[in-house]
């Protein structure tokens, strides 16, 4: 008998988690939960409200009062903040620059982790982020830790974000990825860390199809 499992995918910025996780979920008929989009939406809400990014209490209030929903429409992932589709506004250099203080505050993380566990309570989920295998779903039947060289990750991000904007360069992106990797790995609460029982996949020289197939195979073995 097959049973629905939970799949946790963690790894550094732009390692290919979201694209891979979404497709794995589609093939397995599972729900995909992009926790990065949740932290990004809270950052959007905090910027819109003009909150001081060092004011932990104010950020926690923003996190508590924001309703975030994730939906897949025509194969595209959409993120809603209080009913407004913010998908186009959360993957920008402005959010990349401001997300670190938001994702570092333990109060904000507590609220996010609680919501993420609720979304996953019935299993049949693929969730990606930084702390999924270690904090959010430590009981997940399959844990993946996705890595890729900073060169490969920066090239991917440039392709996603540039759109002919000359201010977005490979060097700027590399600097932002290195800064966020460092901040994500060294924070006290929910740091980016490989769970001891995670399978490591280095995607530097892999295609999306290869990444997806590898994880789907592992998932099918563990669904038995």
99 interacts with ligand CDP by CB under 6 A: yes
Interface of this chain with ligand CDP, residues 17 to 76, rule: CB under 6 A: 18, 35-36, 39-40
Question: Minimum Å distance from CB 39 to ligand CDP?
Answer: 4
Whichever of 35 and 87 has its CB closer to ligand CDP, that residue is 35
Asked if 31 and 119 touch (Cβ cutoff 8 Å), the reply is yes
Residue 11 zone, left/alpha/beta (φ > 0; ψ -120 to 50; rest): left
Residue among 42, 103, 111, 212 that touches ligand CDP (CB under 6 A): 103
Interface of this chain with ligand CDP, residues 131 to 170, rule: CB under 6 A: 131
Could you give the CA distance from residue 145 to residue 129 in angstroms, rounded to a whole number?
10
Question: Minimum Å distance from CB 35 to ligand CDP?
Answer: 4
Residue among 20, 129, 152, 173 that touches ligand CDP (CB under 6 A): 129
Residue among 30, 130, 146, 195 that touches ligand CDP (CB under 6 A): 130
Question: Minimum Å distance from CB 3 to ligand CDP?
Answer: 25
C-alpha distances (whole Å) from 223 to each of 2, 25, 118, 119, 218 are 5, 14, 21, 20, 9
Distance of CA 5 to the CA centre of its chain: 19
Asked if 172 and 166 touch (Cβ cutoff 8 Å), the reply is no
Residue among 14, 63, 86, 201 that touches ligand CDP (CB under 6 A): 14
| Distance linking the first and last C-alpha atoms of the chain | 6
Could you give the CA distance from residue 69 to residue 82 in angstroms, rounded to a whole number?
8
Residues that bind ligand CDP (CB under 6 A): 13-14, 18, 35-36, 39-40, 99-100, 103, 129-131, 180, 184
């Amino acid at each position: 008998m097959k049973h629905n499992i939970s799949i946790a995918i963690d790894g550094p910025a732009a390692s290919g988690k979201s694209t891979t996780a979404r497709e794995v979920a589609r093939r397995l008929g599972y729900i995909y939960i992009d926790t990065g989009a949740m932290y990004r939406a809270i950052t959007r809400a905090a910027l819109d409200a003009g909150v001081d990014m060092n004011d932990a209490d104010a950020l926690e209030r923003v996190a508590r009062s924001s309703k975030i929903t994730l939906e897949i429409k025509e194969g595209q992932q959409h993120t809603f903040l209080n009913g407004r589709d913010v998908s186009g506004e959360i993957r920008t250099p402005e959010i990349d620059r401001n997300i670190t203080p938001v994702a570092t505050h333990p109060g904000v993380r507590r609220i996010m982790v609680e919501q993420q566990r609720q979304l996953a309570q019935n299993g049949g989920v693929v969730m990606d982020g930084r702390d999924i295998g270690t904090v959010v779903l430590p009981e997940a039947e399959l844990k993946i830790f996705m890595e890729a060289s900073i060169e490969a990750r920066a090239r991917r991000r440039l392709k996603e974000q540039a759109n002919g904007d000359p201010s977005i360069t490979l060097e700027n992106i590399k600097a932002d990825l290195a800064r966020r990797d460092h901040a994500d790995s060294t924070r006290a609460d929910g740091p980016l860390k490989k769970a001891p029982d995670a399978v490591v996949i280095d995607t530097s020289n892999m295609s999306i199809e290869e990444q997806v197939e590898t994880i789907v195979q592992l998932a099918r073995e563990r669904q038995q």
